[in-house]
Amino acid sequence: MAVALTSEPNPLQIDFCGLDMASPIVLLSGCVGFGEEYTRIDGFSNCDVGGIVLKGTTLEPRLGNPPHRVYETPMGMLNAIGLQNPGVDKVVDDILPGLDFSETRFLANVCGSTIEDYETVTKRFDDSPIDAIEINISCPNIKEGGVSFGNHPEMSAKVVAACRRATNKPLIAKLSPNQTDIQENARLCIEAGADGLAVINTMMGMAIDAETREPVIGNVRGGLSGPAIKPIALLKVHQVYEVAGPKNIPIIGQGGITTVEDAIEFIVAGSSTIGIGTTLFYDPLLCRKINAGIAEYLDRHEMGSVSELVGTLKA
């Protein structure tokens, strides 16, 4: 079921941070490059999704981590790409002009090693056609010995506040599951100026070659994504919705979504939109199936829009 940004009635249409999205599906950062990769797949259309989050972008170009960078697990994938990207100037000047902003919404993903980096990259995207900005606060803070910004609510809030000063565009904080209190993190990010929240980022994991007794991933550890983390992601969405829902702060729910039922579960838990990532590598046309499935579910339950389903968990 292809959908597009039109004035025609569309039960899949959702308002996310003031942006009209033709579908609740968002393609996740790191899984679709800079938005042009999936256009080469026969049958895929950007009109099938409400938004595309571009690859994580830093102030300066990065080569990323040494190989191996990706490892398949029984129920997902480990990755440690290391934020390989050409730098924000290249993205804004050379890549964004080649994207068709009439097809879908494009969100930048901002990364940094210092708060100043985040602010500078955000300001650069502010002066661009990008629709919204996602803040990857799971990056290590080099000024604090490599501690992740996202694992400490106060540090997360400082990053959000700095980015808020740099832009008036919708700002989404991508929350880490690798922390003690995700609700406190969500609350402080909202107070610092986040317009939306992405829940969750990958879990930390590793793989070992039993014969060589060496780590499989060159960076030793990597982010675990895919179906294995779905139950954790669902719980985190539910917990964050308890904080964000009363404040009308929308959530991109993500983590192991592979079926229509998965997508609906995340919406019921509190997600206004749902993020698709790892599954795209083996089912690139999944989005069309999920759109059709959600539309059928809404019709069967006599609901006129996705928004009527958000946060309807009977708990």
Distance CA(68)–CA(89), nearest Å, equals 28
Q: What is the dihedral of CA 78, 194, 270, 256, to 10 degrees?
A: -10
- Residue 139 catalytic? yes
Identify each DSSP E strand in 12-62 by its residue range: 14-16, 19-21, 25-27, 51-57
- Cα 296–chain centre separation: 25
Q: How many other β-carbons are positioned within 10 Å of the β-carbon of residue 300?
A: 8
Catalytic-role residue among 17, 47, 111, 139: 139
Q: By the 8 A CB rule, do 85 and 63 touch?
A: no
Q: By the 8 A CB rule, do 293 and 44 touch?
A: no
Distance CA(260)–CA(118), nearest Å, equals 35
- Angle of the 153-166 helix axis to the 115-126 helix axis, nearest 10: 30
Q: How many other β-carbons are positioned within 10 Å of the β-carbon of residue 42?
A: 6
Residues 6+ apart with CB under 8 A from 9: none
Active site residues: 139
